[in-house]
Amino acid sequence: MGIDVQCQRFGSISNAIHIISIVAAEGLLIIRTHALWKQNKRFLAVLLALAAISITSAVSITEVINNLETPVDPSAPPKSTCTFQAGRSSAIQYGFLVVYELLLMSLTVFKRYQDYRDSNSRLVRAIFQGGVRYMTAIIFVSVANILIMSVVPVSCMVYLVLVRQILLIWGRYRMMK
């Protein structure tokens, strides 16, 4: 098997893992928010619809921008697909992700002060504080990714995307404790 085929497989697998990680993290946040809103099915339908609209918009806008970019110079050396790289247009996708996460965090904080304002339960405090800390960390890293994707050359972005993935895994581990 040639190195190009191996690199393409690695690129595809790495991209799939990246997407699955983001979807899993957002799924956990949606489930948490849905539970805090007393498992309201209409509320869940709205959250899922907004997630679908956000994903569709992010991908569509990114595709349009990618199609508008200047074509690759045929004399330029081929790009390696053996690393996980994100283009500048991926900042748009992270932008939609940040907006959606801010919405979930706002709904969580709103519910905390609407229904659980007078609660002194350690469990309630832990659930809300842990959730807000986790969402804040993820939003911070996503904003950092947006800024860096907008300024830094593509080759340096690999490490930042990996940092976000590590934070996602660490956050899921902390939520399970």
Of residues 56 and 163, more confidence is placed in: 56
Mean pLDDT rounded to a whole number for the chain: 79
Please, are residues 15 and 59 in contact by the beta-carbon 8 Å criterion?
no
Q: How far is CA 41 from CA 47, 79, 105, 109, in A?
A: 10, 46, 19, 20
Residues 114-162 pLDDT 10s: 988 888 888 888 888 888 888 898 898 888 888 887 877 655 555 556 6
**82 in Cβ contact with 7 (< 8 Å):** yes
Cα 11 from Cα 56, distance rounded (Å): 22
Residue spans per domain, the chain: 3-63+88-176
Q: pLDDT-based confidence at 20, cuts 50/70/90?
A: confident
* Higher per-residue pLDDT: 19 or 6: 19
* Residue 45 reports pLDDT greater than 60: yes
Selected residue with higher pLDDT from 14 and 114? 114
More confident residue, 163 or 26: 26
pLDDT of 42: 96
| pLDDT in the model for residue 99 | 95
Dihedral sign for Cα atoms in the order 131, 132, 136, 137: negative
5: pLDDT confidence band, cut at 50, 70 and 90? low
Whole-number Å distance between alpha carbons of 166 and 18? 11
Distance between CA atoms of residues 177 and 170, nearest Å: 11
Please write down the HEC assignment for all residues of 56-116.
HHHHHHHHHHHHHCCCCCCCCCCCCCCCCCCCCCHHHHHHHHHHHHHHHHHHHHHHHHHHC
The predicted model scores a pTM of 0.74
The total of other beta-carbon atoms located within 10 Å of residue 126's CB is: 10
